[in-house]
Amino acid sequence: MTPLLRRARLLPLIAALLLSGCGRNMYDQARYESYEPSSLFADGTSARPIPEGTVSRERGAIAESFFTGQDENGLLTELPIPLTQAVLERGQERYNIYCAVCHNYSGDGGGIIVQRGFVRPASFHEPRLRAAPVGYFYNAITNGFGRMYSYASRIPPEDRWAISAYIRALQLSQSATVADLPADLQARLQAASSHAQGAPSNTVLTQGDAQ
């Protein structure tokens, strides 16, 4: 028997020995599945909290209140991001996609889903919600409220703040008067109202007027 043939006959044996070392332990590895309980840690969970001082690779060192909408003093009363035209436009776009179906485009709670039988949500123009801090709306989007489920998995934090800012703009637009507008817009509205019979100069503006 030639050496080459002898090696060829040994190949099946070598393959069998190699495969015998691949047990199911390589497939079923010792690991925790998502949300699996654990007796190793005192709190009984395998999912560990983020260590204090951890810095996000995507956003850098950002205060926890940016993600929760509240700090040690309670719900945030000011936006944690600069309020710009771009932020409001982004907030309007996201609001129209995710919120208007229930809350309506004007924020009065009469969206298309409500018109088809869904329970009507509170109007954003109620005194209670007009007085609510901006963190209230962010918190509701993040955690859900009543029949409204959480949108945290659908809307990133930046967009939640943009929506919250836009809700504030909606509240302002639905109760603003001419006196609240810049002088140039006041002049334009005064000129337009002079052509309408009996149109008072301090008429409450609608959302379309404000835009």
Rounded CA separation 176/196 (Å) = 20
Entry pTM: 0.64
pLDDT band at 62 (very low <50, low <70, confident <90, very high): confident
* CA 46 from centre of chain: 26
Out of 73-87, 120-134, 184-198, pick the least confident: 184-198
Residues forming a β-bridge with 37: 45
- The domains located in the chain, with CATH, are 77-173 (1.10.760.10)
Residues in the chain: 211
Query: Among 63, 65, 83, which Cα is nearest to 75's?
Result: 65
Query: Among 177, 176, 167, 77, which Cα is nearest to 124's?
Result: 167
pLDDT band at 16 (very low <50, low <70, confident <90, very high): low
9 vs 209, more confident:
9
Read off the pLDDT of each residue in 47-57 and give the average, rounded to a whole number: 78
CB atoms within 10 A of CB 10: 10
Rounded CA separation 178/170 (Å) = 16
pLDDT in tens, 146-195: 889 999 999 999 999 999 999 999 998 887 777 877 888 888 888 887 87
